[in-house]
Structure 1
Amino acid sequence: MKNNHKSLMLILTLVLVILAACGNSSEESNTKSNNESPDSSSTQNANGDSPNNSSKDKDKTDNSPEDTGETQINHQEDTSENTSTNSNDGKSLTSSKSDSEVTKNNKEEYLNKLNKMDKSDKNADVKTTISEMEEQEEERYKNWDKTLNEIYGVLKEQLSTEQMDQLREEQRNWVEHRDETAKEASLKYEGGSTESLEYVATQASLTKKRCYELVANYMK
Structure 2
Amino acid sequence: MELNKRKKLLTVISLIIFSFLVTTAAPVHATTGSVYLKRYKNLEKQCKKLFKYDGSQQEMNQESAKEYKLWDKELNYVYKEIYSKLTPNQQKKLKKSELEWIKARDKKAKKSASEFEGGTMYPLIYNETLINLTKKRIKWLIKNYG
> TM-score range, shorter-chain basis?
0.7 to 0.9
Looking at structure 2, the residues matched to 120 and 188 of structure 1 have their Cα atoms a distance apart, in angstroms, of: 30
Give unpaired runs (5+ residues) of structure 2: 1-27
Where do residues 106-117 of structure 1 align in structure 2 (5 Å cutoff)? 106-117=32-43
TM-score, normalising length: structure 2:
0.74
**Map of 1:188 onto structure 2:** 115
Displaced runs of 4+ in structure 1, greater than 3 A? none
Q: 2:117 aligns to what SS in structure 1? A: coil
Give unpaired runs (5+ residues) of structure 1: 1-100
- Are 1:133 and 2:60 an aligned pair? yes
Cα deviation, 1:168-204, whole Å, max 9, x if unaligned, reads 0000000001100000011121232101221112111
* Pairwise CA RMSD: 1.7
**Map of 1:161 onto structure 2:** 88
**Map of 2:135 onto structure 1:** 208
Which region of structure 1 is more displaced relative to structure 2, 105-114 or 164-173?
Answer: 105-114
Structure of larger gyration radius: 1
Looking at structure 1, the residues matched to 42 and 60 of structure 2 have their Cα atoms a distance apart, in angstroms, of: 21
Looking at structure 2, the residues matched to 218 and 151 of structure 1 have their Cα atoms a distance apart, in angstroms, of: 10
Cα deviation, 1:82-102, whole Å, max 9, x if unaligned, reads xxxxxxxxxxxxxxxxxxx93
Looking at structure 2, the residues matched to 156 and 176 of structure 1 have their Cα atoms a distance apart, in angstroms, of: 19
Q: CA deviation at 1:151?
A: 1.0
Cα deviation, 1:6-49, whole Å, max 9, x if unaligned, reads xxxxxxxxxxxxxxxxxxxxxxxxxxxxxxxxxxxxxxxxxxxx
Identity of aligned residues (%): 31
Q: CA deviation at 1:216?
A: 1.2
- Number of residue pairs the alignment of both structures matches: 118
